[in-house]
Structure 1
């Protein structure tokens, strides 16, 4: 069996598992019946600035999954220190395995084939509730989060309201 056939079977099983036992705060489905492209709806967790929001994301898997990580990108506008302005999520477990050439992350914090879609989604929940402003993807959001939290909060709450209205 080829590695792409193995990744296809693994992704089919992970999708089936998520549909049988959903992770609270998320729903998942395929984009155009492509097992390598998933649309995830992230529901803003209670007691976070994103509460009551509905944020569409795209999870794109390489054919080398689970050896290499997927990429995750918010389709719905998102303002967060760990989300690039283009919507790409920047969390350690989505970084390629091995040592970080910049020395910010230990190899054990980065992608490992033991991670699943569920562990990715749980990491996104954690990221939304506890931003890491020490290693930001969106420098402006991190600066506001640190230096002008009320302005940061206003932007996030406006986008959260908009996300709910767009559904």
Structure 2
């Protein structure tokens, strides 16, 4: 595989390093790239203990962009689990749906621990999330042990090492929970800030092509059309009697001016004729 890729590429060097680090499976997770594609990995994770997914073994794909680790991977579950949709890119703050929260220091191992840590959390309508009942999730967890990936060619329950008891299990589980908590907290803070910034109390449509003078005029018009005391938006009704009176006076003045102009032209024409006859 090494001869097929540019070994000077940061993404290739990083992925080869991670493949070597994750070569040996653990009792909680395992991931390796496909033999013919360094940028697509298959992974297996064990469901977190003391949850609806306890006893489950879940398989999936990780698709990495050429810009990795500067850009995040896409994560796809292949085993039915009741928390994430099968065959669909799931929305996590560590996945390709949210490049703004991804950190280049994170790795595929980080993604695996994040999946374990996020499984017991609520989907809250995120892309690729499911909210199955606890009974359905426990039934799928039991069924997941018999899942066999066509690409890997082996049962998932045989991929991971047997569970260990004691400090190792507690440490791995706590690490996954803490990682999910930190990522969720950071993601929630960023979303709150973005929401407060993008949703002003009084939204005003902006036109970047307008000049400063035009924008000031628009703001003045908006202030004039603010809510009236009786709760009805828009300008106050104008006095139609005043408008009609002013129009009538203007018509009278224009009529008199026109009559005076016509009279003066007639008078000058008569004077010219009189002088010519003399």
TM over 0.5: yes
Moved over 4 A (4+): none
1:1-45 residue CA offsets vs partner (Å, 9 max, x unmatched): x7982101101101211236x565111122234211111011122
Corresponding residue of 2:51: 48
Larger RCO (alpha carbons 8 Å, 6+ apart): 1
Tell me how many residue pairs correspond in the alignment: 142
Q: Which has the higher helix share?
A: 2
Corresponding residue of 1:74: 77
Corresponding residue of 1:163: 144
Q: 1:31 aligns with which of 8, 31, 34?
A: 34
Contact 1:4 1:64 survives alignment (8 Å) = no
Corresponding residue of 1:121: 112
Contact 2:11 2:69 survives alignment (8 Å) = yes
Contact 2:22 2:32 survives alignment (8 Å) = no
Q: Unpaired runs of 5+ in structure 1?
A: 99-109, 145-151
Q: How far apart are 1:161 and its partner, in Å?
A: 1.5
Contact 1:49 1:153 survives alignment (8 Å) = yes
Q: 2:127 aligns with which of 105, 121, 137?
A: 137
Judged with a 3 Å threshold, the aligned counterparts in structure 2 of structure 1 residues 23 and 124 are, in CA distance, closer, same or farther, namely: farther
Provide the rounded CA distance (Å) in 2 between the counterparts of 1:78 and 1:111: 25
Corresponding residue of 1:149: none
**Higher Cα Rg: structure 1 or 2?**
2
Q: 1:16 aligns with which of 14, 20, 24?
A: 20
Corresponding residue of 2:253: none
TM-score (norm. length: structure 1): 0.73
Is 1:111 the counterpart of 2:102 in the alignment?
yes
**In angstroms, what is the RMSD of aligned CA positions?**
2.4
Q: Unpaired runs of 5+ in structure 2?
A: 1-5, 148-154, 156-278
1:70-129 residue CA offsets vs partner (Å, 9 max, x unmatched): 10101112311xx2454432211213433xxxxxxxxxxx11211111111111111013
